[in-house]
Amino acid sequence: MLQNRATLKQIRFYLLSELRQRYTENESGSITRLILEHTGYPLSDTLRDPDHLPVPSVVAQINEIIADIHTGKPIQYILGETYFCDLKIEVDKNVLIPRPETEEMVEHIKAMPPQPIHRIIDLGTGSGCIALALKQYFPDAEVWGVDISKGGLTVAGENGRKNNLQVNWGEMDLLNEHPTDRANRFNLVVSNPPYVMNGEQSVMAYNVTGFEPESALFVEDDDPLIFYRAIASFCNIYLADKGEIWVEINEQFGKETASLFKMEGFSRVQILRDIHEKDRYINARR
């Protein structure tokens, strides 16, 4: 345990030593920087004044963070925040931690050929990270983020306020209800729905299964595409002509998910791979 009157240099080496028990060298360095910044000491301060003595409350806070890390709790939940497309995003037990693969999907959308995008909806918005990043990239668009989770929508609303981005949040059960206004259609429908099969839990890390909300992760093994059928049904009603669909998918069901959208009448259905060369996204058009 870190003792009072530890210098910034000592704190930094203590953090690296503790984190290396659970993480790679690169991950340990990144998390050390996050913790120091979270407690008010950017790495530049640590390097410039390594003999500085933080107040005892900071030392106590760092000891609590390390204790939580050793339980397997993700650092994002411990700190209550993470970054997504350069936005600071609050996270808690009600929402998933945003993944780099999801950020990659948003970057794909940002890189689309220029076209009029007036209305965007993020189905199953969680923390609101996708909706907020798209509002950042398409500032003139009206953006909606909907979710079944009231707790998740509270987090999303707070993220919108803190990032000064205007997104419309709404409660919606994608599997059982649709909005009633069919006049104003969406030019872009995006979603990162639950797609991990329950049977995959046994091979997943405890820091995921032990802390992240199951309802946002898992689907029944006998119906892994349930949310994609619901998304296709939604888009058949609410996607504008020449509108775009982007969804994140389970790498095991790339062809099956693409076939589903083709059978529903969407065109130019394509599977895109993520940075790890895994089938990860479907892009389709009305």
pLDDT of residue 180: 64
CATH says 94-285 is which class? alpha beta
Q: What percentage of the chain carries pLDDT values higher than 70? A: 99
Residue 286 banded pLDDT, cuts 50, 70, 90: confident
Neighbours of 149 (CB within 10 A): 18
CB 260 within 8 A of CB 231: no
Average pLDDT over residues 252-263: 97
For the chain, domain boundaries: 8-70, 94-285
Please provide residue 102's backbone torsions phi and psi, each rounded to the nearest 5 degrees: -70, -40
| Segment 65-103, tens digit of pLDDT | 999 999 999 999 999 999 999 999 999 999 999 999 999
Q: Residues 168, 126: contact at Cβ < 8 Å?
A: no
**How many of the other CB atoms lie within 10 Å of CB of 116?**
9
